[in-house]
Amino acid sequence: MAFSARQDATPISGINVTPLVDVLLVLLIIFMISAPVVAHKARVDLPSPGSQPPAAMMEPIDITIEPNGMTFWNHVLVTDAALATQMALLGSREGDKPSIHISASDDAAYEDVAKVLAEAKFNGLSKIDFVNRD
Residue 2 lies inside a defined structural domain of this protein:
no
Is 22 part of any domain?
no
Residue 116: count of CB within 10 angstroms of its CB: 21
In a domain, 26, yes or no: no
In Å, how far are 33, 56, 94, 124, 134 from 98, measured between CA atoms? 43, 11, 11, 11, 22
How far apart (Å, rounded) are the C-alpha atoms in residues 75 and 133? 13
Note whether 100 and 129 are within 8 A (CB).
yes
State pLDDT tens for residues 1-16: 566 666 766 777 778 8
Dist. CA 131–CA 118, nearest whole Å: 18
H or E element in which residue 40 lies: none
Domain around 118: 78-130
What pLDDT does residue 2 have? Answer: 60
The tally of domains found in the chain comes to 1
The reply to whether 101 falls in a domain is yes
Whether 84 maps to a domain, the answer reads yes
- For residue 53, being part of any structural domain is answered with no
Picking from 52-56, 65-69, 130-134, which range would have the lowest pLDDT averaged per residue?
52-56
Residue 83 within any structural domain of the chain:
yes
Q: How confident is the model over 96-107, as pLDDT tens digits?
A: 788 899 998 888
Q: Note the pTM of the prediction, 2 decimals.
A: 0.56
Domain presence at residue 4: no
**pLDDT value of position 1:** 55
